[in-house]
Chain A
Amino acid sequence: MKVKCIIPAILAFAMCLSLISCGSGAKETTSSGGETVTVGLLHSLTGSMAISEEAVRDAEVLAINEINAAGGVNGAQIVYVEEDGASEPSTFATKAEKLIDENKVKTVFGCWTSSSRKAVKSIFEEYGNLLWYPVQYEGMESSSNIVYTGAAPNQQIVPAIEYLVNQGYTKFFLMGSDYVFPRTANEIINAQLADAGAEVVGEEYADMNQTDFSSIIAKIEASGCDVIVNTLNGTGNVSFFKQIAEKNYTAEDYMTMSFSIAEEEVTTIGADILKGHMVSWNYYETTDTAANEAFVTAYKEAYGENRVTSDPVEAAYDAVYLWKAACEVAGSFEPEDVIAAMESTEISYEAPEGTITIDGESHHCYKKVRIGVVNDGGLIDEIYATPDAVKPDPYLTSYGWAAEVQPLS
C-alpha cells in the first residue's frame, strides 16, 4: 500500500524534473561546419503586434540569408535563434534574458513597441549585450546597449511639422492613440508650434482599441483646423480613415500628416481612402536608389509579389548590415567590442534609403527625412526630402523651444 502511494508522487516529481532538465540544456543550433556566430531575433509572432512585427522579422531573416550567401561576417556564418515576445512586454523581458544568457547570442534584433523596448532595456544594460531597435519612436532615450536604426523625433516629427508650417498651415489638430508615443510626440509638437506661431486648435486621444471616431470627427469639424496631425497606431487608423471617408471628406477638406502609416497600413486601409494624405518617414518603397531596387526585388522574391517594403522593414534590414559593418571594424563579435567600435569609428552602410551612419554618441543613425503623399496605387511618392542626412538628436537638445519637453536628467 505504502509503495503504491509513493509511485504517483515520484511520477509527478519526475515530470517536473524532466521539464526542468529540458529547459537547462541550452539548445545547440546545428551548423553546417565552419565558424558560426549566433544572433537573436525577438519579435511578437503571436498576439496583436504579430501582423506588424512579422514583416520586420522577415526583413532581418532576408538580410541574414544575404550576408551568409555572401560569405558571412568576419568569415563566420550567422545562425539565428528566434523567440516570440507574444506582444507582451514581460514576455519580451523573459525572452531577451533567455537569448542573452542561455543561447549566448552576440546581439539581438528586435522589439517594435516602446513598452517592449523599455521592458528589455535594463536587461540589455545589465548583461552588457546589444539590441538593434528598428522602429521610429518618441525619443527622449538613449542607451549604450541599444542601437536605434529608426528615426528619432527630429528625423520624422520635427521636420514634418516644419514642412507643414512652411506650406502655410496654421491651425493644427493633434490626434493620437493613448500611449507613450503620441503623448510625447504631441508634447514636442505643441512646443514646436508655439515657437513657430501656429495654433493648436484641438488635441484628442483615442483608446488603443477604439473603433468609433464620430465624437473625435465632430470635434475636428468644430475646431476649424486645416491640418490633422495623426499619431494613431494600429486598428484605430483603419476606423478613423474609413469614417472620415464616409463623410465624403478627402485630403482637400482635411489634410492629415501621419507618423504611423507606411505602405503596409496603406494596403490595409485602402489607397482610395488615403489618396493625397501626407506621411513622414525616412524611406518609401519608391525611394529612388540602386540599393533600394535590389532590396525591393529581393524582398518580394523571398516573400511574395504582394508584400510591400516600408520604413520599419527597411530599418530592420539595415540593422543587420550595420551590425555586420560594426563587427568587421571591431574584428570581433563580442558586444563590448562592437559597441566600442561604433563609438570610436563612424560605421556606415549604403542602405536602400541612402547612406546611413551610426552616431557614436547617441547610438542613433544619421537619416534623410522624406515627406510623402499616398498615390492611387497604394505606394507613397516623395514630395520633399532633406538635402542631407539629419543628425539624430533624441533629446532635441539643439532646439531652443524643446527645453521644457526634455527629461529631467
Chain B
Amino acid sequence: MKPLISNKKNLCFVLILLALGLSPLLLQMGVIQSSSFVLFLGKCICFSIAAIGLDLIWGYTGILSLGHGLYFCLGAYCMGMYLKLQATGGVITDFMKTGGLTELPLIWKPFNSFFLTVILMLAVPAVLSGILGYLIFKNRVKGVYFSIISQALTWTGYSLFIALSPYTNGNVGITEIQSLFGSIRGSANFGHFCGVFYLALVVLAGVYALSVWLTNCKFGKLLIAIRDGENRTYFSGYCVSSFKTAIYSFSAVLAALAGALYINFNGSITPSQMTISYSITMVIWVAVGGRGTILGAVVGAILINLCEYNLSSGAMVDLWQYLIGGIFCVMILFFKGGIIGLVTEQLPATFRKLKNTDRKPVRVKAKKEGVNHA
C-alpha cells in the first residue's frame, strides 16, 4: 500500500511538471495569451522549491521555522549581486557611491565570477543555518521558542540589510538587472525566457526527487521519528540535534536556491522578502497544500500564488486578502491535511461511505447516514 501511495503522488507531480513544462509551448502556440502569466508560473516554480524545503523541516521534522525568508533573500542577493555586476560591467554601482564608497567593496568582489557566486549562494545559507542550527538544537531549543528565534533572525537580517545600504541598497534592494541569460521579457527574448524557465523546472524536479528519496530512506524515517517522539529517538541512541541541524541546513539551502532562481524572473530583490510576514506566507503555502507530503508543498505554493495573482485585481482588489485569509482558516479548521489530505484521504473516505450506504439494504441505517450528510 505505502509505495502505491507515494507512486500516485509522484504521478501527480509529474503531471504538474508536464503542465508547467508545456506552458511556454502553449504560449508559443497562442493557447495561453499572456507571457506575463507564464513568467509568473516561473516564479511559482521557485516558490515551490522554497516550500519543499520548509515542508521537510516542518511537515517531516516538526520544526516550525517562521524565518525562511532570510535564506530565500540570501540566495537571491548572492545571485542579484552577480547579475548587478554583469549589468554594470563590474564597476561600483550608484548606491555604493551615494553611500560614500569609492571602490567595489570586498564583499562584492567574489560575485564577479559565476562559479564563486554559485558556491557562495549555497554556502552562505548552509554555513549560517548550520551554525545557528547547531547552537539552537544542541541546547534543545524547540517548539514555539525555535519559531520565535527564527522570526528574530529574519528580522535581524532585514534590519541589517536596511542599515548596510551602501552595500545592499537599503530597502530599494538590487534592481535593474537581467536574468542569467539576458532579458526575458517580450517575444524577442523568448529563448532566454525558456532557458530560465526550464532551468527552474529542472531544479524543481531534482529537488523533488531528492526530497522524496530523502524522506523514504532511513534518514527520512528518523525525521518523522523526531517529529513524533523526540525523546524516544534520543533514547534510541540517535543524536537528534545533528539530524535537526542537517535538515535545517538543507532546507535553508533549498530556500536560497529558490531565491536565486526567483530573482531571474523578478528582475529585482528587496529586503521585503525577508520580513516576518513574507516568511509566514511561505508556511501558509505548505499548510494549505498539505504538510508532511512533498507534493503538498508544491501544490500549495503554486495554488496559493495563482489565487493571489488572479484575485488581487479588478473587482476583488479591496477584498482579496480577506479571501485568502478565509481559505487559509477553512483549510486549517476543516482540512488538516491540506489539499493533499483532502484529496487522498477525506474525499475517498466520503466516497467509500457513500458507496457503502448504497449497498446496505438495511433501511434504518441508510436513513441515519442520509441525515448525517444533510
Stretch at the interface among A118-126, A234-242, A244-252, A291-299: A118-126
A284 CB → nearest B CB, Å: 29
Contacts of A100 in B (CB 8 A): 36
Report whether A126 and B183 are in contact in the complex, using a CB–CB cutoff of 8 Å: yes
Stretch at the interface among B117-125, B128-136, B170-178: B170-178
Interface size class for chain B? 35 or more
Report whether A123 and B267 are in contact in the complex, using a CB–CB cutoff of 8 Å: yes
Which residues 267-318 of B have a CB within 8 angstroms of A? 267-270, 272-273, 278, 299, 302-303, 306-307, 309-310, 312-314, 317-318
Contacts of B43 in A (CB 8 A): 94
**Number of A-B residue pairs at CB separation under 8 A:** 190
| Known contacts A23-B310, A89-B268, A183-B170; is-contact A16 B303 (Cβ 8 Å) | yes
| Known contacts A102-B37, A183-B165; is-contact A408 B92 (Cβ 8 Å) | yes
Report whether B15 and A9 are in contact in the complex, using a CB–CB cutoff of 8 Å: yes
Contacts of A187 in B (CB 8 A): 98
Report whether A90 and B270 are in contact in the complex, using a CB–CB cutoff of 8 Å: yes
Report whether B4 and A15 are in contact in the complex, using a CB–CB cutoff of 8 Å: no
Contacts of B15 in A (CB 8 A): 9, 13
Contacts of B97 in A (CB 8 A): 407-408
Which residues 63-82 of A have a CB within 8 angstroms of B? 81-82
Report whether A8 and B347 are in contact in the complex, using a CB–CB cutoff of 8 Å: yes
Contacts of B357 in A (CB 8 A): none
Contacts of A20 in B (CB 8 A): 19, 23, 41, 306
Contacts of B273 in A (CB 8 A): 90
By CB atoms of chain B within 10 A, which of A27, A115, A179 has the most? A115
B11 CB → nearest A CB, Å: 6
| Known contacts A24-B32, A46-B321, A84-B313; is-contact A180 B172 (Cβ 8 Å) | yes
Report whether B267 and A19 are in contact in the complex, using a CB–CB cutoff of 8 Å: no
What's the Cα separation between A5 and B343 when bound, in Å? 10
What's the Cα separation between A89 and B99 when bound, in Å? 22
Residue of B nearest to A5 (CB): B8
- Per-residue interface assignment for chain B, residues 162 to 202, with 1 indicating a CB less than 8 Å from any chain A CB and 0 otherwise: 11010001111101111000010110000000000000000
Contacts of B16 in A (CB 8 A): 13, 16
Which residues 93-119 of A have a CB within 8 angstroms of B? 93-95, 97-98, 100-102, 114-115, 118-119
**CB of A217 within 8 Å of the partner chain:** no
**CB of A45 within 8 Å of the partner chain:** yes
Contacts of B8 in A (CB 8 A): 5-6, 8-9
B334 CB → nearest A CB, Å: 17
Report whether A19 and B12 are in contact in the complex, using a CB–CB cutoff of 8 Å: no
Contact pick for A12, options B4, B34, B183, B343, CB 8 Å = B343
B311 CB → nearest A CB, Å: 9
Report whether B11 and A23 are in contact in the complex, using a CB–CB cutoff of 8 Å: no
What's the Cα separation between A5 and B162 when bound, in Å? 51
Contact pick for A45, options B278, B310, B317, B344, CB 8 Å = B317
| Known contacts A19-B303, A178-B163; is-contact A12 B170 (Cβ 8 Å) | no
What's the Cα separation between A180 and B278 when bound, in Å? 22
Contacts of B170 in A (CB 8 A): 178-180, 183
Which residues 182-222 of A have a CB within 8 angstroms of B? 183-184, 187, 207-208
Which residues 33-56 of A have a CB within 8 angstroms of B? 45-46
**CB of B54 within 8 Å of the partner chain:** no
Contacts of A23 in B (CB 8 A): 37, 40, 306, 309-310
Report whether B317 and A84 are in contact in the complex, using a CB–CB cutoff of 8 Å: yes
**CB of B320 within 8 Å of the partner chain:** yes
Contact pick for B40, options A88, A94, A127, A408, CB 8 Å = A94
| Known contacts A90-B270, A123-B267; is-contact A102 B36 (Cβ 8 Å) | yes
A27 CB → nearest B CB, Å: 6
Report whether B267 and A93 are in contact in the complex, using a CB–CB cutoff of 8 Å: yes
| Known contacts A86-B312, A89-B270, A122-B175; is-contact A98 B321 (Cβ 8 Å) | no
* Interface residues of A, dominant DSSP: helix
Report whether B306 and A19 are in contact in the complex, using a CB–CB cutoff of 8 Å: yes
Residue of A nearest to B296 (CB): A12
**CB of A383 within 8 Å of the partner chain:** no
Residue of B nearest to A209 (CB): B159
B75 CB → nearest A CB, Å: 14
B271 CB → nearest A CB, Å: 9
Report whether B35 and A101 are in contact in the complex, using a CB–CB cutoff of 8 Å: yes
Report whether A82 and B317 are in contact in the complex, using a CB–CB cutoff of 8 Å: yes
- Per-residue interface assignment for chain A, residues 385 to 409, with 1 indicating a CB less than 8 Å from any chain B CB and 0 otherwise: 0000000000000000000010111
**CB of B339 within 8 Å of the partner chain:** yes
Report whether A102 and B33 are in contact in the complex, using a CB–CB cutoff of 8 Å: yes
By CB atoms of chain A within 10 A, which of B16, B34, B95, B266 has the most? B34
| Known contacts A94-B43, A115-B171; is-contact A121 B92 (Cβ 8 Å) | no
Contacts of A180 in B (CB 8 A): 95, 165, 169-172
Contacts of B36 in A (CB 8 A): 97-98, 100-102
Report whether A94 and B185 are in contact in the complex, using a CB–CB cutoff of 8 Å: no
Residue of A nearest to B159 (CB): A207
Residue of B nearest to A4 (CB): B348
**CB of A26 within 8 Å of the partner chain:** yes
A184 CB → nearest B CB, Å: 6
**CB of A290 within 8 Å of the partner chain:** no
Contact pick for B313, options A95, A118, A184, A408, CB 8 Å = A95
B110 CB → nearest A CB, Å: 22
B270 CB → nearest A CB, Å: 4
Contacts of A5 in B (CB 8 A): 4-5, 8
Of the A-B pairs whose beta carbons lie under 8 Å apart in the complex, a sample of 16, sorted by A's number, is: A4-B348, A5-B4, A11-B343, A12-B299, A12-B343, A20-B306, A23-B37, A23-B40, A93-B267, A95-B313, A100-B36, A115-B171, A121-B176, A126-B185, A408-B94, A408-B97
Chain B interfacial positions (CB closer than 8 Å to A): 4-5, 8-9, 11-12, 15-16, 19, 23, 31-37, 39-41, 43, 91-95, 97-99, 159, 162-163, 165, 169-173, 175-178, 183, 185-186, 266-270, 272-273, 278, 299, 302-303, 306-307, 309-310, 312-314, 317-318, 320-321, 339-340, 343-344, 347-348, 351
With contacts A19-B307, A178-B162 known, what are 14 further pairs, Cβ within 8 A?
A: A5-B8, A6-B11, A8-B347, A8-B348, A16-B16, A23-B310, A82-B317, A89-B268, A90-B266, A90-B270, A93-B268, A122-B178, A126-B185, A408-B92
The list of the 8 closest CB pairs from A to B, nearest first, reads A101-B36, A102-B34, A126-B185, A8-B343, A97-B36, A24-B32, A9-B12, A118-B175
Chain A interfacial positions (CB closer than 8 Å to B): 4-9, 11-13, 15-17, 19-20, 22-27, 45-46, 81-84, 86, 88-90, 93-95, 97-98, 100-102, 114-115, 118-119, 121-123, 126-127, 140, 178-180, 183-184, 187, 207-208, 405, 407-409
